[in-house]
Every structure is written in structure tokens, then in C-alpha cells.
Amino acid sequence: KGVRLISVPFWLGGGRAGVEYGPEDMMSAGLGRQIRNLGIRLDGDYEVCCPREGKLDPGSPRIKYLPEIKEMSGLVGEQVYRAVSAKTFPIVLGGDHSVAIGTLAGLTGHYNRLGVIWFDAHGDLNTEATTPSGNIHGMVLAVAMGFSRFKLTDIPGAGTLINKKNVVIIGTRDLDPGEKELIRSQGIACYSMHDIDKHGIAKVLEEAVAIASDGTDGVHLSFDMDCLDPLEASGVGTPVPGGLSYREAHFAMELLAETGKITSMDLVEVNPMLDHDKKTTRLAVELTASLLGKKIV
Ligand code: ARG
Ligand code: MN
Ligand code: MN
Ligand code: MN
């Protein structure tokens, strides 16, 4: 199966500029080359046109840049839908995590029932009512499952909402009160850093894959680079101490590769303007190679 790269240089979902340079930074760090070195066909790289500069108006402070995010999501969804229709494995390069609304729109247009594995320091489960920031990148999973007023199904081309039974969040250590409440009341599977410390990343991944693949016809991996410890990846907009180690993250990707169950991926929140040692971009590229089957021996 070939891989198709879809660059989305978008930053309005996180409200912090710099993250729009993520895709080109990962490309120049050799993402395409790494993929080809694995013997995988690179079936095109596409770029979604995004508003770069602005004297842009965020609009509602409770949900900023909503029209821009809807527009971007429609365009991303179209490319992702085309990629899966062409039987390729789409990798969406962000940009901030709001680009995943587009990915999920395109994927649900194709798959009947999609599982989602979400690596993140955060829950991305806020709604218009609970958000502390108004930034939509902190709401994506709530949007995807239909807990907010703005819903995945508002995006043209999207299929059904994501079923909460098939969603797993891994690596959390910074959940807002409203997010904790939603996780509790809805019974959303969330493996915090505490759970990873306690049970180990292998056990957590095993359970996560079981949840995301139960009754589904596709499993999407959404990888927010801030799931990593800032010691490994400081070039992200919202770093939180106490994250995944270098090996835990690689091992997780290697385990996912072994299952052969992942059918698409987002790689988001790399901010080259904050990535002073270039470690974050490099690690993002390496982790993608591990997910695609690169082995140590
Ligand atoms: N929970 C915070 C918020 O809602 C931070 C979210 C960070 N999200 C991310 N995709 N990096 O604003
Ligand atoms: Mn995050
Ligand atoms: Mn938890
Ligand atoms: Mn995120």
C-alpha cells in the first residue's frame, strides 16, 4: 500500500503561529525519503491551501476561527477521502490539531465505523462551554463524537460521528475540569501518564488497539507531538512536563505497526519556530517511520 502525504499548514486552531511551518519542516527533514527507504511507494504529496497571514478576526472568543476551520476541514476531508478511495494510507501533516477535524471528516466519509487512537498530553475534549482558551485544537475529540455544538457532521462530506466506544486517548497529563467530567460521564477510554507508568506502554497499547478496532473497519492514529516529554520534543505550542519518553513513543509506534491495524495518521503540533534544537521535527519523522514498519534490527 502506498502512502499519501497531505500537508496542512494551518495554525488558527491553536492560535499560535509557527505550527504552519510543520509540514515543510518535516518534509525537509526527510519524511518522504524515510518512507521510500522502507520500500513503501510515496503516492503523491499534496498541500491544502490555508490562510497564512491575517489581520484575521477570531470571531467568538469561545470558539475561535470557526469559519476558517470549517473551510480548512472541508478541503482536508476531500483530500483524505480521495487518498483512501485510491487505496493509499493518508498521513496528514499539521498544522495544529484542528486539522484532524478534516482528516476525520474524510475518513468517516469512507469508513462505516472508524476507531480512533489519540496520543496527546491533552484530552482535546473541551466544548464551547468548557474551553479555557477558545482554541478549537482543544476541542477536536468533542467535535468528533458530537459533544459540542460544532460537530464533525457540520463538515461537508463527513459521514457519521465517531462512536465514543471506539475512541482511546493515550498520554494525558493536562485535562481541564470539563474534560475530566466528560471522560467520567461518557466512559471515554483515557490512558493517562499514570496508567502508562503503572501498566507499561505495551499493555496500554494492547488495550487501546482492542478498543479502537472493536467492530470498526478502520483505525485512525492521531499523533499530537506534545504527548512526548518536552525533554524530547520541546517544539510544540502547549508543552506539558512528564510525557512519553523517546523509547516509549517509538515502542508504541512499533507495536502499532506489528498489529497492521492502523489505516491512517495525523502528525500534528510540530512548531518549527519553537523547535530550537530541531529534535521535535526529527523525532516526528522517525516515529512515522516506526509506525510504517521501520525496525531496529
Ligand atoms: N486544554 C487546552 C485548551 O483547551 C489545551 C489544548 C491543547 N490542544 C492541543 N491540541 N495541543 O485550550
Ligand atoms: Mn496536545
Ligand atoms: Mn485518565
Ligand atoms: Mn491535541
Q: Is the CB of 254 under 6 A from ligand 1?
A: no
Residue 17 is classified by DSSP as T
Question: For a pocket test of ligand 1, which of 136, 137, 139, 175 has the largest count of ligand atoms closer than 8 A to its C-beta?
Answer: 137
Residue identifier of the C-alpha nearest atom 7 of ligand 1 = 138
How does pLDDT run across 67-105, given as a tens digit for each residue? 999 999 999 999 999 999 999 999 999 999 999 999 999
Instruction: Concatenate the DSSP letters of all residues of 150-187 into one string.
Output: S-GGGSTT--SPPPGGGEEEEEE-B--HHHHHHHHHHT
- The pairing of beta strand 189-192 with beta strand 167-172: parallel
Q: What is the pLDDT of residues 180-223, one digit of tens each?
A: 999 999 999 999 999 999 999 999 999 999 999 999 999 999 99
Question: For strand 167-172 and strand 3-8, is the pairing parallel, antiparallel, or unpaired?
Answer: unpaired
131 lines ligand 1 (CB under 6 A): yes
From the candidates 68, 78, 122, 174, give the one annotated as an active-site residue.
Answer: 122
Check if the beta carbon of residue 228 is closer than 8 Å to that of residue 279: no
Of 25, 224, 248, 254, which one is the catalytic site residue?
Answer: 224
- Model ipTM value: 0.92
Whether 264 is in the pocket of ligand 1, judged by its Cβ within 6 Å, is: no
Q: What is the pLDDT of residues 122-151, one digit of tens each?
A: 999 999 999 999 999 999 999 999 999 999
Please compute Rg for the chain using Cα positions.
17
In this prediction, residues 161-183 reach a mean pLDDT of 98
- Would you say 268 and 222 are in contact if contact means Cβ atoms under 8 Å apart? yes
d(CA 256, CA 258): 5
Q: Which residues contact 25 (CB under 8 A, 6 or more apart)?
A: 270, 272, 275, 281
Q: How far apart are CA 112 and CA 268, in angstroms?
A: 25
| The predicted structure's pLDDT at residue 143 | 99
Give which of 101, 111, 110, 102 is closest to 77, Cα–Cα: 102
In angstroms, the first-to-last Cα distance of the chain is 22
In the block, which residue shows the cell 531496529?
296
Concerning whether 269 is annotated as a catalytic residue, the answer is yes
Burial class from Cβ neighbours inside 10 Å (0-12, 13-18, 19+) for residue 52 reads: exposed
For ligand 1, is residue 229 a contact (CB within 6 Å)? no
Q: Give yes or no for residue 55 having a pLDDT over 90.
A: no
User: Which residues, other chains included, contact 57 with Cβ-Cβ below 8 Å and sequence gap of 6+?
Assistant: none
What is the spatial distance between Cα 214 and Cα 110, in angstroms, rounded to a whole number?
18
What pLDDT sits at residue 297? Answer: 81
Residue 56: per-residue pLDDT: 81
Grade residue 296 by pLDDT with cuts at 50, 70 and 90.
confident
User: What's residue 251's pLDDT?
Assistant: 98
Evaluate whether 236 touches 280 at the Cβ level (below 8 Å). yes
C-alpha span between 275 and 273 (Å, rounded): 6
> Is-catalytic flag, 226?
yes
Strand duo 114-119 + 218-224: pairing: parallel
Instruction: Respond yes or no: is residue 43 known to be catalytic.
Output: no
Ligand 1 atom at minimal distance to the Cα of residue 175: 1
Spell out the residues 6+ positions from residue 69 whose beta carbon is closer than 8 angstroms to its own.
12, 13, 98, 101, 136
pLDDT at 274 over 80: yes
Residue 122 among the catalytic residues: yes
Hey, whose CA ends up nearest to atom 3 of ligand 1? 138
SS3 71: helix
Closest-approaching ligand to the CA atom of 240: 2
